[in-house]
């Protein structure tokens, strides 16, 4: 029961952030959330902790929880670093690619496609990002996987908030093309597709969307 209540709070707050009903920087008062959901502050705290792990909110000592305020410039810098890292990762991957690795990537692509088709915004965002981490993990390079996971999480909220359904579908299709190039062991094409893909993701973020609310009750109603 506690787990389902926590999950419900996480889902509700995630939707409010993703659907632009909560402005970055909005304070998430524990008591107000507890009253709104009819649960204890302990359950609210558990939900906020989960959201902080996904960088959707930030926890400040003595001040409480706030909707994260990712910088657009930070996202630009993250994508620049990712293009450098992932071009080399693609070269290294293709030189040691195995049928088992390709199978794992294709299974991941199937999950991506399902999330995109079902308009599962949080799910597709996580899966589209995880594709890149998975490549590093399949290579057995856990340091690279950890670095990518951190880089991706730093701009995850921006991707979550500003990637359109069409851009997400296109992103998934580009992953398919990358895997085809990996399977064909076409290094030049695979690297080019990866670089283009990351540029397209960055270019596809719509930073001019309508500004969200900062009233917690209105946003969750």
Conformation bin of residue 55: beta by default, left when phi > 0, alpha when psi is -120 to 50: left
Q: Which two tokens stand for residue 121?
A: 């915004």
- pLDDT for 127-178, tens place per residue? 998 999 999 999 999 999 999 988 887 777 777 777 778 888 999 999 999 9
Whole-number Cα distances in Å, 17 to 56, 64, 126, 175: 8, 17, 15, 26
Asked if the model's pLDDT at residue 4 lies above 70, the reply is: yes
**Per-residue pLDDT, 53:** 84
Asked if the model's pLDDT at residue 181 lies above 70, the reply is: yes
Q: Rounded CA gap, 78 and 102, in Å?
A: 27
Which range scores top for mean pLDDT: 64-78, 93-107, 110-124, 165-179?
93-107
**Per-residue pLDDT, 209:** 53
**Per-residue pLDDT, 190:** 98
Q: Are 220 and 8 in contact (CB under 8 A)?
A: no
For residue 218, what pLDDT band results from cuts at 50, 70 and 90?
low
Count Cβ atoms below 10 Å from residue 69 Cβ, excluding itself.
11
For residue 119, what pLDDT band results from cuts at 50, 70 and 90?
confident
The DSSP string of 125-152 is: HHHHHHHHHHHHHHTT-HHHHHHHHHHH
**Per-residue pLDDT, 117:** 93
Strand locations in the chain (E): 27-28, 57-60, 64-67
CA torsion, ordered 147, 148, 154, 160, to nearest 10 deg: -160
Whole-number Cα distances in Å, 68 to 34, 164, 193: 20, 20, 31
Half-sphere exposure of 20 (CA within 13 A, CB side): 13
For residue 99, what pLDDT band results from cuts at 50, 70 and 90?
very high
Angle of CA points 173, 163, 94, to nearest 5°: 35
Show the domains of the chain with their CATH numbers.
Answer: 2-69 (1.10.10.10), 72-203 (1.20.120.530)
The gap between the terminal CA atoms of the chain, to the nearest Å, is: 23
- pLDDT for 24-73, tens place per residue? 889 999 999 999 999 999 999 999 999 998 778 999 999 999 998 877 78
Higher-pLDDT residue of 23 and 64 is 64
pTM > 0.85: no
Average pLDDT, integer, range 90-108: 97
**Per-residue pLDDT, 208:** 60
For residue 214, what pLDDT band results from cuts at 50, 70 and 90?
low
């Amino acid at each position: 029961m506690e787990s389902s209540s926590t999950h419900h709070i996480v889902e509700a707050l995630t939707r409010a952030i993703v659907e632009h009903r909560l402005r970055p920087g909005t304070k998430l008062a524990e008591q107000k959330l507890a009253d709104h959901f009819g649960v204890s502050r302990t359950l609210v705290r558990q939900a906020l902790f989960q959201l902080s792990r996904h960088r959707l909110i930030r926890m400040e000592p003595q001040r409480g929880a706030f909707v994260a305020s990712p910088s657009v410039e930070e996202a630009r810098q993250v994508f620049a670093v990712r293009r450098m890292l992932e071009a080399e990762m693609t070269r290294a991957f293709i030189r040691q690619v195995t049928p088992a690795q390709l199978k794992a990537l294709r299974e991941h692509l199937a999950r991506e496609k399902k999330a995109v088709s079902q308009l599962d915004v949080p799910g597709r965002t996580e899966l589209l990002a995880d594709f890149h981490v998975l490549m590093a993990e399949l290579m057995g390079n856990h340091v690279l996987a950890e670095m990518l996971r951190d880089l991706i999480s730093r701009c995850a909220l921006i991707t979550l908030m500003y990637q359109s359904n069409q851009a997400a579908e296109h992103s998934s299709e580009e992953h398919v093309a990358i895997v085809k190039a990996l399977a064909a062991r076409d290094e030049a094409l695979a690297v080019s597709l990866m670089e283009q893909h990351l540029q397209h993701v960055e270019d596809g973020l719509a930073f001019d969307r309508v500004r969200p609310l900062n009233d917690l009750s209105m946003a969750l109603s």
